[in-house]
Amino acid sequence: FFFSSSATAPRPPRELEMLGVALALCCSLALFQTAHAVLGGACTPSSGTYTLRNQTDLDALPAGCTSVNGNVLISCVDGTGAGAIQDLEVFQILEEISGYLVIQQCSYLESLTGLSYLKKISGNTLFTNVAGVSGFAVYIRNNNRLTSLAGLQNLTFVGGQGERGAGKIHISENVNLCYTDKVNFADIVGDSYTRVVDVTNGNNGSCSARTCSDDCSCGVCFGPGAAYCQGDCSSDNKTKLILIIVFSIIGGVLLILLLWMCCTRRLGCRMRCGKRTLQLGSLPTKVSDVQWLNSAAPEPRETDQFVPTASDDPFASAIATLPRLQEDRARRRTVPNTLPPMTNHRPSNHTMLPAPAEDDHTRDSTL
């Protein structure tokens, strides 16, 4: 790395040249590795699971993981005081875990805010607890200083084998934990949340007084403050309001159109409620177009009856003449009989009249 324009300049020792080359290679490798560490990316544990028991294990994790192709098991059975796990800032840009997430027995862990970018836990591998119960995608248990679930507010998917809601969520025995009842788990696991979610607050009696921030438009949250609201419902509320206005306008237009058609005799309709009747528009009767009957409906008049005609019904003419035929028949029955009574009995003396004489001409013609 020494250059000179003079041909007579002394040449540096060979050892010095080799040292310069080595330093240049080291600097290049360092810059290359640093650039890749800052960019982050997918991190894959060699055993399939990052098992973290103390702060030393956390410090040994790769820097800048945006996703973990495996599981994250945080079980604080080792380490006390300064050596215990107190925060999860090492996961501050982590967005996805393909397996499960377990946080248990961490007595010094007070917050989950290091997981604020976590959005998805696929549950391709599910956790089995010490009691032999399996199927857990999220398992948070026995963390005495944990006061809220703040840090999980961006979590929108928990599944099993990549299927939404197929992995269980179990959060229990965290004595100071609150806000679990303020989370809408249906937005995380879907409609099966009543079957796969087992979440309880701690024994802290003040949990009932804890509320979400007024800035949480949905009224649900993972912890105190506007930063831990679960989702943003303002857009949903606007959509609902727009739909209500649109359907109200459509309904009003249809109602006005219906009344207009009825009042202009383009459409007929009749509504009855008990003895009250409202009739609008044109119907096959001679009742007025608009009629309110506030009392009992009057007896129908003859002029109000709809009488079919021959053009309406082929039997109309026969039906119309039937009353006249009945009247004629009744009138004939009431006419007195003026003819003399007919008798077919013989005289009382039983005298036989002589037969008429038969002359020769009659007898000859008979023969």
Q: Which amino acid is at 50?
A: Y
Half-sphere exposure of 3 (CA within 13 A, CB side): 2
CA angle 149, 150, 151 (to 5 degrees): 105
pLDDT digit string (tens) for 175-227? 999 999 999 999 999 887 778 899 988 877 788 888 999 888 788 999 999 99
Residue 150: which pLDDT band, with cuts at 50, 70 and 90?
very high
**pLDDT at residue 343 is higher than 90:** no
pLDDT of residue 31: 42
- Taking residues 275-296, what's their average pLDDT? 52
DSSP states along 251-281: HHHHHHHHHHHHHTTSS-EEEEETTEEEEES
Mean pLDDT estimate for the chain? 76
Residue 7: which pLDDT band, with cuts at 50, 70 and 90?
very low
CA distances from 206 to 150, 209, 214 (A): 17, 6, 19
Sequence-separated (6 or more) residues with CB below 8 Å from residue 304 = 285, 286, 287
**pLDDT at residue 235 is higher than 90:** no
State the CB neighbour count (10 A cutoff) for residue 363. Answer: 9
pLDDT of residue 83: 83
CB 267 within 8 A of CB 281: yes
- Taking residues 86-100, what's their average pLDDT? 94
- Taking residues 254-261, what's their average pLDDT? 80
